[in-house]
Amino acid sequence: MKLFIDTANLADIEEALRGGFIRGITTNPSLLAKEPKGNYVEHIKRITGLAEKYGENISVSIEVFSNDEKEMVRQAVDFVKQIKYKHLAVKIPVSYRGQSNLNVIKTLSDKGITVNCTACVTSLQLMMAAAAGAKYVSLFYNRLRDAENEEKYKAEREALIAGSIVERQDYDPDKVLRETVPLLSDYPEAEIIVGSIRTPLDVKRSALAGGHIVTASLKVLKDSLMHFKTDDSVERFLKDFESWTK
Ligand code: E4P
């Protein structure tokens, strides 16, 4: 599996890149909105600058901010032209209110632009995005899990089940990942990115269920290293060495 960092924060990106354990960076408009106001493209250029400084082949995903098909294509082409970063991927949401964005994915991949199809929550969305040409297909792990119990979406949830669009167990993101892996067998180039990760256990479970890449905040990535027995061992090594030198 590979780890990406899910942030637009330059300090966090630099810290993770210095650690050498991440192979990519994913951002979205909400993550960008947490950073000081400024020019979108200039901020992304700072991110790609860090990627070039610290790593080789570090993937950087940035998202369009429109729901209009033509505008999404225009923005994606413009990002590629302005940012000039070899490993740039443009995030296109799989659909929005009944509008399929697969044609946008196809148009961009035909132009040689790497697409990260985002906001997926079902195995068929992930598979169809890969079929349309997306190199990365992103599953929103915890947002999907939340959907199982969110009171405000009760009617929508039942309608999907009544319409045989999903079954009740399809709100379990690990099951979705396990089912997606065989469904992607005809698209071997496609890689599943698991996003919406909140804990180290999410990282482990989603990777074991089939995610090729897990993208998480620096905090979750650092928490993944924490263990009291590691601390205890290090402390004891230091103490033993100290008493030997006395
Ligand atoms: C993935 O690419 C997204 O940026 C991200 O993981 C969204 O998830 P969250 O906002 O639920 O954390």
Strand 213-216 and strand 59-63: pairing? Answer: unpaired
Residue whose Cα lies nearest atom 9 of ligand 1: it is: 196
Give tens-digit pLDDT for 35-74.
999 999 999 999 999 999 998 899 999 999 999 999 999 9
Residue-wise pLDDT for 173-198, tens only, equals 999 999 999 999 999 999 999 999 99
194: β partners: 139, 214
CB distance 26 to ligand 1 below 6 Å? yes
Q: How far is the CA of 92 from the centre of ligand 1 (A)?
A: 13
d(CA 86, CA 59): 9
Catalytic annotation on 222? no
Q: Is the pLDDT at 246 greater than 90, yes or no?
A: no
pLDDT digits (tens, 9 = 90+) for 196-217: 999 999 999 999 999 999 999 9
- pTM assigned to the model: 0.96
Q: Which value, to the nearest 10 degrees, does the dihedral of the CA atoms of residues 233, 237, 240, 244 take?
A: 170
Nearest atom within ligand 1 for CA of residue 31: 4
141 CA distance to ligand 1 middle (Å): 9
Centre of ligand 1 to C-alpha 147, Å, is 15
What's the CATH class of domain 2-145+172-241? alpha beta
Q: How far is the CA of 197 from the centre of ligand 1 (A)?
A: 7
Dihedral in degrees, nearest 10, Cα atoms 136, 137, 140, 145: -140
Please provide the distance, in angstroms rounded to a whole number, between the alpha carbons at the two ends of the chain: 45
Query: Average pLDDT of the chain?
Result: 97
17: nearest Cα among 52, 61, 62, 41:
52
The amino acid occupying position 166 is V
Question: Is residue 55 in contact with ligand 1, taking CB distance under 6 Å?
Answer: no
Identified catalytic residue from 91, 106, 175, 239: 91
Spell out the domain ranges in the chain: 2-145+172-241
pLDDT for 143-164, tens place per residue? Answer: 999 999 999 999 999 999 999 9
